[in-house]
Protein backbone atom coordinates (compact mmCIF):
# COMPACT_ATOMS: atom_id res chain seq x y z
CA UNK A 1 0.00 0.00 0.00
CA UNK A 2 1.36 3.41 -1.00
CA UNK A 3 0.71 6.02 1.74
CA UNK A 4 2.37 9.04 0.15
CA UNK A 5 3.18 9.72 -3.46
CA UNK A 6 5.01 12.66 -5.00
CA UNK A 7 4.71 12.92 -8.77
CA UNK A 8 7.03 15.35 -10.54
CA UNK A 9 6.77 17.88 -7.74
CA UNK A 10 8.28 21.30 -8.44
CA UNK A 11 8.40 24.31 -6.13
CA UNK A 12 9.80 27.75 -6.74
CA UNK A 13 10.05 30.90 -4.67
CA UNK A 14 9.85 33.95 -6.95
CA UNK A 15 11.86 32.62 -9.91
CA UNK A 16 14.08 30.41 -7.83
CA UNK A 17 13.32 26.69 -8.31
CA UNK A 18 14.13 25.02 -4.97
CA UNK A 19 12.59 21.57 -5.55
CA UNK A 20 12.38 19.89 -8.95
CA UNK A 21 11.35 16.56 -10.49
CA UNK A 22 10.65 15.04 -7.10
CA UNK A 23 9.19 11.55 -7.48
CA UNK A 24 8.69 9.27 -4.51
CA UNK A 25 6.38 6.54 -3.25
CA UNK A 26 6.32 5.91 0.49
CA UNK A 27 4.88 2.56 1.55
CA UNK A 28 2.61 2.15 4.53
CA UNK A 29 4.68 1.75 7.69
CA UNK A 30 7.89 2.85 6.02
CA UNK A 31 10.44 5.15 7.66
CA UNK A 32 11.85 7.41 4.93
CA UNK A 33 14.47 10.12 5.47
CA UNK A 34 15.16 13.20 3.39
CA UNK A 35 18.91 13.70 3.71
CA UNK A 36 20.93 16.59 2.34
CA UNK A 37 22.85 19.75 3.22
CA UNK A 38 21.20 22.88 4.50
CA UNK A 39 19.18 24.65 1.81
CA UNK A 40 18.68 21.59 -0.44
CA UNK A 41 14.88 21.68 -0.17
CA UNK A 42 14.09 19.19 2.61
CA UNK A 43 11.80 21.44 4.66
CA UNK A 44 10.12 22.84 1.55
CA UNK A 45 9.24 19.32 0.42
CA UNK A 46 8.03 18.30 3.88
CA UNK A 47 5.90 21.45 4.07
CA UNK A 48 4.27 20.53 0.76
CA UNK A 49 3.41 17.09 2.14
CA UNK A 50 2.06 18.74 5.32
CA UNK A 51 0.03 21.26 3.32
CA UNK A 52 1.76 24.45 4.51
CA UNK A 53 2.97 24.97 0.94
CA UNK A 54 1.45 23.97 -2.38
CA UNK A 55 3.54 22.58 -5.24
CA UNK A 56 3.83 24.74 -8.36
CA UNK A 57 3.84 21.63 -10.53
CA UNK A 58 3.14 17.97 -9.98
CA UNK A 59 0.79 15.96 -7.87
CA UNK A 60 0.81 15.00 -4.22
CA UNK A 61 -1.21 11.98 -3.09
CA UNK A 62 -1.84 10.76 0.44
CA UNK A 63 -3.50 7.36 0.70
CA UNK A 64 -4.34 7.62 -2.98
CA UNK A 65 -6.16 10.95 -2.66
CA UNK A 66 -4.93 14.03 -4.47
CA UNK A 67 -3.91 16.57 -1.84
CA UNK A 68 -2.96 19.64 -3.89
CA UNK A 69 -4.78 22.57 -2.30
CA UNK A 70 -6.06 20.58 0.69
CA UNK A 71 -5.33 22.48 3.95
CA UNK A 72 -3.07 20.91 6.62
CA UNK A 73 -5.83 20.21 9.16
CA UNK A 74 -7.63 18.00 6.66
CA UNK A 75 -4.60 15.79 6.13
CA UNK A 76 -4.55 14.03 9.55
CA UNK A 77 -0.80 14.37 9.96
CA UNK A 78 1.41 14.56 13.01
CA UNK A 79 4.30 16.98 12.74
CA UNK A 80 7.35 17.72 14.87
CA UNK A 81 9.74 20.60 14.22
CA UNK A 82 13.35 21.33 15.07
CA UNK A 83 12.51 23.99 17.62
CA UNK A 84 10.23 23.10 20.46
CA UNK A 85 6.77 24.08 19.49
CA UNK A 86 4.99 23.37 22.75
CA UNK A 87 2.60 25.98 24.13
CA UNK A 88 4.43 27.50 27.13
CA UNK A 89 1.31 28.39 29.12
CA UNK A 90 -0.10 24.86 28.98
CA UNK A 91 0.94 21.84 31.00
CA UNK A 92 2.38 18.80 29.25
CA UNK A 93 -0.97 17.00 29.48
CA UNK A 94 -2.79 20.03 28.02
CA UNK A 95 -0.23 20.32 25.24
CA UNK A 96 -0.59 16.66 24.34
CA UNK A 97 -4.40 16.84 24.57
CA UNK A 98 -4.57 19.86 22.25
CA UNK A 99 -5.14 17.97 19.02
CA UNK A 100 -7.80 15.81 20.67
CA UNK A 101 -9.62 18.88 21.97
CA UNK A 102 -9.71 20.32 18.45
CA UNK A 103 -11.22 17.04 17.30
CA UNK A 104 -13.84 17.20 20.09
CA UNK A 105 -12.76 13.92 21.69
CA UNK A 106 -14.62 13.27 24.97
CA UNK A 107 -12.90 13.93 28.29
CA UNK A 108 -12.53 10.35 29.52
CA UNK A 109 -11.13 9.12 26.20
CA UNK A 110 -8.88 12.17 26.02
CA UNK A 111 -7.35 11.48 29.44
CA UNK A 112 -6.86 7.84 28.55
CA UNK A 113 -5.14 8.63 25.25
CA UNK A 114 -2.89 11.30 26.78
CA UNK A 115 -1.87 8.86 29.49
CA UNK A 116 -1.14 6.11 26.97
CA UNK A 117 0.95 8.30 24.66
CA UNK A 118 2.97 9.74 27.59
CA UNK A 119 3.74 6.16 28.59
CA UNK A 120 4.73 5.44 25.00
CA UNK A 121 7.38 8.20 25.09
CA UNK A 122 8.36 7.09 28.62
CA UNK A 123 7.36 10.35 30.33
CA UNK A 124 4.19 9.54 32.29
CA UNK A 125 5.42 11.46 35.34
CA UNK A 126 5.69 14.92 33.73
CA UNK A 127 2.00 15.34 32.79
CA UNK A 128 1.45 18.27 35.17
CA UNK A 129 4.66 20.15 34.44
CA UNK A 130 5.09 23.13 32.14
CA UNK A 131 7.42 22.98 29.10
CA UNK A 132 10.00 25.27 30.72
CA UNK A 133 10.39 22.73 33.54
CA UNK A 134 11.51 20.06 31.04
CA UNK A 135 14.89 19.36 29.45
CA UNK A 136 15.33 19.78 25.70
CA UNK A 137 15.14 16.04 25.13
CA UNK A 138 11.97 15.76 27.22
CA UNK A 139 10.35 18.60 25.29
CA UNK A 140 11.00 16.86 21.99
CA UNK A 141 9.52 13.63 23.38
CA UNK A 142 6.43 15.58 24.38
CA UNK A 143 6.29 17.17 20.93
CA UNK A 144 6.40 13.64 19.47
CA UNK A 145 3.69 12.51 21.91
CA UNK A 146 1.53 15.44 20.87
CA UNK A 147 1.95 14.50 17.21
CA UNK A 148 1.16 10.84 17.87
CA UNK A 149 -1.86 11.26 20.13
CA UNK A 150 -4.18 11.97 17.20
CA UNK A 151 -3.08 8.63 15.69
CA UNK A 152 -1.99 10.28 12.46
CA UNK A 153 -1.77 8.33 9.24
CA UNK A 154 1.57 9.99 8.64
CA UNK A 155 4.24 11.38 10.96
CA UNK A 156 6.43 14.21 9.64
CA UNK A 157 9.61 15.10 11.54
CA UNK A 158 11.72 18.11 10.55
CA UNK A 159 15.18 17.78 12.13
CA UNK A 160 13.67 16.98 15.55
CA UNK A 161 17.04 16.03 17.04
CA UNK A 162 19.19 18.87 15.70
CA UNK A 163 18.90 21.13 18.72
CA UNK A 164 19.96 18.48 21.21
CA UNK A 165 23.49 17.79 22.36
CA UNK A 166 25.28 14.69 21.08
CA UNK A 167 24.41 12.23 23.84
CA UNK A 168 20.73 13.19 24.02
CA UNK A 169 20.51 13.17 20.25
CA UNK A 170 21.63 9.55 20.16
CA UNK A 171 19.27 8.59 22.98
CA UNK A 172 16.28 10.15 21.28
CA UNK A 173 17.34 8.59 17.98
CA UNK A 174 17.17 5.13 19.57
CA UNK A 175 13.86 6.15 21.13
CA UNK A 176 12.46 7.11 17.73
CA UNK A 177 13.54 3.78 16.34
CA UNK A 178 11.84 1.91 19.17
CA UNK A 179 8.67 4.00 18.75
CA UNK A 180 8.56 3.29 15.04
CA UNK A 181 9.04 -0.44 15.60
CA UNK A 182 6.28 -0.37 18.20
CA UNK A 183 3.59 1.63 16.39
CA UNK A 184 4.72 1.36 12.77
CA UNK A 185 3.36 4.74 11.70
CA UNK A 186 4.47 5.83 8.23
CA UNK A 187 7.19 8.40 8.89
CA UNK A 188 9.08 11.00 6.88
CA UNK A 189 12.11 12.28 8.71
CA UNK A 190 14.18 15.27 7.60
CA UNK A 191 17.84 15.46 8.58
CA UNK A 192 21.23 16.74 7.43
CA UNK A 193 22.93 14.09 9.58
CA UNK A 194 23.94 11.00 7.61
CA UNK A 195 24.26 8.85 10.74
CA UNK A 196 20.69 9.60 11.74
CA UNK A 197 19.47 8.77 8.27
CA UNK A 198 21.51 5.56 8.04
CA UNK A 199 20.50 4.28 11.44
CA UNK A 200 16.77 5.05 11.33
CA UNK A 201 15.61 4.66 7.76
CA UNK A 202 14.09 1.93 5.66
CA UNK A 203 14.94 4.16 2.71
CA UNK A 204 16.82 7.42 2.29
CA UNK A 205 16.17 10.15 -0.28
CA UNK A 206 19.42 12.06 -0.83
CA UNK A 207 18.80 15.63 -1.96
CA UNK A 208 21.20 18.13 -3.45
CA UNK A 209 20.18 21.62 -4.65
CA UNK A 210 16.51 20.65 -4.86
CA UNK A 211 17.15 17.49 -6.85
CA UNK A 212 16.85 13.86 -5.83
CA UNK A 213 20.34 12.39 -6.16
CA UNK A 214 19.37 8.89 -5.08
CA UNK A 215 16.64 6.92 -3.35
CA UNK A 216 17.68 3.68 -1.69
CA UNK A 217 18.12 1.62 1.44
CA UNK A 218 20.93 2.71 3.78
CA UNK A 219 23.07 -0.15 2.42
CA UNK A 220 22.47 0.89 -1.19
CA UNK A 221 23.21 4.53 -0.45
CA UNK A 222 26.38 3.61 1.41
CA UNK A 223 27.71 0.85 -0.84
CA UNK A 224 26.36 1.77 -4.27
CA UNK A 225 26.13 5.56 -4.39
CA UNK A 226 24.64 6.96 -7.59
CA UNK A 227 26.97 9.95 -7.59
CA UNK A 228 30.09 11.44 -6.07
CA UNK A 229 27.84 13.76 -4.08
CA UNK A 230 26.05 10.84 -2.39
CA UNK A 231 29.29 9.03 -1.60
CA UNK A 232 31.02 12.05 -0.09
CA UNK A 233 27.95 13.31 1.77
CA UNK A 234 27.24 9.99 3.46
CA UNK A 235 30.62 9.70 5.18
CA UNK A 236 34.31 10.50 5.19
CA UNK A 237 36.24 9.23 2.19
CA UNK A 238 39.55 9.47 0.31
CA UNK A 239 39.39 11.00 -3.16
CA UNK A 240 42.29 10.40 -5.54
CA UNK A 241 42.25 11.78 -9.04
CA UNK A 242 43.70 9.74 -11.85
CA UNK A 243 43.49 8.35 -15.35
CA UNK A 244 42.07 5.00 -16.46
CA UNK A 245 44.83 2.66 -17.70
CA UNK A 246 42.67 -0.30 -18.60
CA UNK A 247 39.14 -1.59 -18.33
CA UNK A 248 38.15 -5.26 -18.58
CA UNK A 249 35.28 -7.53 -17.59
CA UNK A 250 36.37 -7.70 -13.95
CA UNK A 251 36.96 -4.02 -13.37
CA UNK A 252 39.41 -1.27 -14.13
CA UNK A 253 42.90 -0.05 -13.36
CA UNK A 254 43.62 3.59 -12.61
CA UNK A 255 46.89 5.43 -12.21
CA UNK A 256 46.49 8.24 -9.70
CA UNK A 257 48.03 11.68 -9.96
CA UNK A 258 50.35 10.65 -7.12
CA UNK A 259 51.54 7.59 -9.04
CA UNK A 260 49.58 4.83 -7.24
CA UNK A 261 48.10 1.97 -9.22
CA UNK A 262 44.54 1.38 -8.07
CA UNK A 263 42.47 -1.59 -9.14
CA UNK A 264 38.70 -1.27 -8.81
CA UNK A 265 36.17 -4.07 -9.07
CA UNK A 266 33.38 -3.73 -11.63
CA UNK A 267 31.59 -0.40 -11.38
CA UNK A 268 28.00 0.53 -12.16
CA UNK A 269 29.15 2.15 -15.39
CA UNK A 270 32.00 1.58 -17.83
CA UNK A 271 35.04 3.81 -18.28
CA UNK A 272 37.36 4.16 -21.25
CA UNK A 273 41.17 4.03 -21.09
CA UNK A 274 42.54 7.55 -20.89
CA UNK A 275 39.42 8.85 -19.13
CA UNK A 276 40.00 11.16 -16.19
CA UNK A 277 38.38 9.78 -13.04
CA UNK A 278 38.31 10.10 -9.28
CA UNK A 279 38.76 6.96 -7.18
CA UNK A 280 37.35 6.76 -3.67
CA UNK A 281 38.27 4.53 -0.74
CA UNK A 282 36.67 4.93 2.68
CA UNK A 283 39.09 5.37 5.63
CA UNK A 284 37.69 2.25 7.35
CA UNK A 285 38.44 0.13 4.25
CA UNK A 286 42.18 0.80 4.37
CA UNK A 287 44.33 -1.53 6.44
CA UNK A 288 47.48 -0.21 7.98
CA UNK A 289 50.50 -2.46 8.42
CA UNK A 290 53.98 -2.13 9.81
CA UNK A 291 56.96 -0.91 7.84
CA UNK A 292 57.77 0.04 4.30
CA UNK A 293 57.02 -2.21 1.33
CA UNK A 294 57.32 -1.91 -2.41
CA UNK A 295 54.44 -0.12 -4.10
CA UNK A 296 52.09 -2.46 -5.92
CA UNK A 297 48.43 -2.54 -6.92
CA UNK A 298 46.08 -1.29 -4.16
CA UNK A 299 49.01 -0.83 -1.89
CA UNK A 300 50.90 2.27 -0.86
CA UNK A 301 53.79 2.63 1.51
CA UNK A 302 54.21 5.87 3.30
CA UNK A 303 54.64 7.74 6.51
CA UNK A 304 52.24 8.16 9.38
CA UNK A 305 51.69 11.88 9.88
CA UNK A 306 48.92 12.23 12.46
CA UNK A 307 47.12 9.76 14.74
CA UNK A 308 44.03 10.93 16.62
CA UNK A 309 42.74 8.54 19.26
CA UNK A 310 38.94 8.62 19.28
CA UNK A 311 38.15 5.78 21.66
CA UNK A 312 36.62 3.08 19.50
CA UNK A 313 39.14 3.76 16.73
CA UNK A 314 42.08 5.94 15.79
CA UNK A 315 41.96 8.27 12.83
CA UNK A 316 45.28 8.39 11.00
CA UNK A 317 46.70 10.53 8.28
CA UNK A 318 49.23 8.79 6.07
CA UNK A 319 51.36 10.39 3.37
CA UNK A 320 51.66 7.80 0.64
CA UNK A 321 52.25 7.85 -3.07
CA UNK A 322 51.97 11.61 -3.28
CA UNK A 323 48.59 11.57 -1.51
CA UNK A 324 47.43 12.15 2.02
CA UNK A 325 45.23 9.21 2.98
CA UNK A 326 42.81 9.14 5.87
CA UNK A 327 42.80 5.72 7.56
CA UNK A 328 40.57 4.51 10.35
CA UNK A 329 42.32 1.97 12.57
CA UNK A 330 40.46 -0.26 15.00
CA UNK A 331 42.39 -0.54 18.23
CA UNK A 332 42.43 -4.13 19.36
CA UNK A 333 45.36 -4.07 21.74
CA UNK A 334 47.74 -5.96 19.43
CA UNK A 335 48.12 -3.09 16.99
CA UNK A 336 51.43 -1.40 16.39
CA UNK A 337 52.18 1.85 18.17
CA UNK A 338 50.86 4.67 16.02
CA UNK A 339 53.82 6.98 16.37
CA UNK A 340 53.88 9.90 13.97
CA UNK A 341 56.79 9.75 11.56
CA UNK A 342 57.01 5.96 11.37
CA UNK A 343 56.90 4.02 8.12
CA UNK A 344 53.60 2.28 7.42
CA UNK A 345 51.92 0.70 4.46
CA UNK A 346 48.32 0.85 3.39
CA UNK A 347 46.29 -1.80 1.59
CA UNK A 348 42.75 -2.05 0.36
CA UNK A 349 40.58 -4.38 -1.70
CA UNK A 350 39.43 -3.68 -5.25
CA UNK A 351 35.83 -4.35 -4.06
CA UNK A 352 36.14 -1.30 -1.79
CA UNK A 353 37.16 1.11 -4.54
CA UNK A 354 34.58 3.38 -6.11
CA UNK A 355 35.27 5.14 -9.41
CA UNK A 356 33.44 8.22 -10.63
CA UNK A 357 34.01 10.55 -13.56
CA UNK A 358 36.32 13.38 -12.46
P1 LIG B 1 16.48 22.71 3.90
O2 LIG B 1 15.31 22.40 4.76
O3 LIG B 1 16.97 21.53 3.11
O4 LIG B 1 17.61 23.35 4.64
P5 LIG B 1 14.68 24.59 2.63
O6 LIG B 1 13.64 23.72 2.05
O7 LIG B 1 14.35 25.29 3.89
O8 LIG B 1 16.04 23.77 2.78
O9 LIG B 1 15.08 25.69 1.56
C10 LIG B 1 15.39 25.37 0.22
C11 LIG B 1 15.74 26.65 -0.51
O12 LIG B 1 14.58 27.45 -0.63
C13 LIG B 1 16.78 27.50 0.18
O14 LIG B 1 17.62 28.05 -0.79
C15 LIG B 1 15.96 28.57 0.88
O16 LIG B 1 16.69 29.75 1.01
C17 LIG B 1 14.79 28.73 -0.06
N18 LIG B 1 13.54 29.12 0.64
C19 LIG B 1 12.90 28.41 1.59
N20 LIG B 1 11.77 29.02 1.98
C21 LIG B 1 11.68 30.17 1.25
C22 LIG B 1 10.74 31.24 1.18
N23 LIG B 1 9.64 31.24 1.94
N24 LIG B 1 10.98 32.24 0.30
C25 LIG B 1 12.08 32.23 -0.49
N26 LIG B 1 13.00 31.25 -0.46
C27 LIG B 1 12.82 30.23 0.38
MG1 LIG C 1 15.10 22.62 6.84
Mutational pocket test of ligand 1: of 20, 39, 157, the residue with most ligand atoms within 8 Å of the beta carbon: 39
Q: How far is CA 83 from CA 41, 278, 358, in A?
A: 18, 40, 40
Mutational pocket test of ligand 1: of 19, 41, 81, the residue with most ligand atoms within 8 Å of the beta carbon: 41
Q: Ligand 1 centre from 74 Cα, in Å?
A: 24
How many CA atoms are closer than 13 Å to the CA of 281, on its beta-carbon side? 29
CB 273 near ligand 1, within 6 Å:
no
Q: How far is CA 27 from CA 123, 293, 316, in A?
A: 30, 52, 42
Q: Ligand 2 centre from 111 Cα, in Å?
A: 34
Interatomic CA distance for residues 192 and 206, integer angstroms: 10
Q: Ligand 2 centre from 286 Cα, in Å?
A: 35
Other beta carbons within 10 angstroms of residue 166's beta carbon come to: 7
Residue of minimum CA distance from atom 10 in ligand 1 = 41
Task: List, as ranges, residues with CB under 5 A of the ion ligand 2.
Answer: 43
Ligand 1 atom nearest to CA at 207: 3
Mutational pocket test of ligand 1: of 16, 18, 42, the residue with most ligand atoms within 8 Å of the beta carbon: 18
With 0-12 / 13-18 / 19 or more C-beta atoms within 10 angstroms meaning exposed / middle / buried, residue 202 is middle
Nearest ligand to the CA of 35 is 1
Interatomic CA distance for residues 137 and 172, integer angstroms: 7
Q: Ligand 1 centre from 44 Cα, in Å?
A: 6
Contact residues for 310 (Cβ-Cβ < 8 A; gap 6+): none
Residue of minimum CA distance from atom 20 in ligand 1 = 44
Nearest ligand to the CA of 42 is 1
pLDDT at 331: 67
CB 339 near ligand 1, within 6 Å:
no
Residue of minimum CA distance from atom 13 in ligand 1 = 39
Q: Ligand 1 centre from 184 Cα, in Å?
A: 30
Residue of minimum CA distance from atom 14 in ligand 1 = 39
Q: Ligand 1 centre from 40 Cα, in Å?
A: 8
Whether CATH 3.30.830.10 fits 2-232: no
In CATH, the architecture of 236-357 is: Beta Barrel (2.40)
CB 43 near ligand 1, within 6 Å:
yes
CB 52 near ligand 1, within 6 Å:
no
Q: Do residues 180 and 120 lie in contact, with contact meaning Cβ atoms separated by under 8 Å?
A: no
CB 231 near ligand 1, within 6 Å:
no
Q: What values do phi and psi take at 200, rounded to 5?
A: -100, -25
Interatomic CA distance for residues 292 and 335, integer angstroms: 16
Please give the chain's pLDDT, 358 residues, in tens: 999 999 999 999 999 999 999 999 999 999 999 999 999 999 999 999 999 999 999 999 999 999 999 999 899 899 999 886 899 999 999 999 999 999 999 999 999 999 999 999 999 999 999 999 999 899 999 999 999 999 999 999 999 999 889 988 999 999 999 999 999 999 999 999 999 999 999 999 999 999 999 999 999 999 999 999 999 999 999 999 999 999 999 999 999 999 999 999 999 999 999 999 999 999 999 999 887 666 689 999 999 999 998 888 899 999 988 899 999 998 654 567 888 999 999 999 999 999 999 9
pLDDT at 333: 46
pLDDT at 291: 72
Q: Do residues 9 and 46 lie in contact, with contact meaning Cβ atoms separated by under 8 Å?
A: no
Domain residue limits, the chain: 2-232, 236-357
Q: What values do phi and psi take at 94, rounded to 5?
A: -65, -40
Residue of minimum CA distance from atom 16 in ligand 1 = 39
Q: Ligand 2 centre from 193 Cα, in Å?
A: 12
Amino acid sequence: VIDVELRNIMKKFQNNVVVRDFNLQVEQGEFVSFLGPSGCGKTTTLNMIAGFLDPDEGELLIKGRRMNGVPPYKRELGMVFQTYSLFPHMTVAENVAYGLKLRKVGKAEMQERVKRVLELVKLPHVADRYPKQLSGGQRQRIAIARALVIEPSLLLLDEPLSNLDAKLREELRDELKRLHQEIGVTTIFVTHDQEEALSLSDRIVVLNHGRVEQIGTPEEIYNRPASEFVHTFIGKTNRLEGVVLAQDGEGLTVKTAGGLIVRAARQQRAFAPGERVAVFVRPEKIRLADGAAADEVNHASGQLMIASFLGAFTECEVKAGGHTLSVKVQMDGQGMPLTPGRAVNCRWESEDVLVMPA
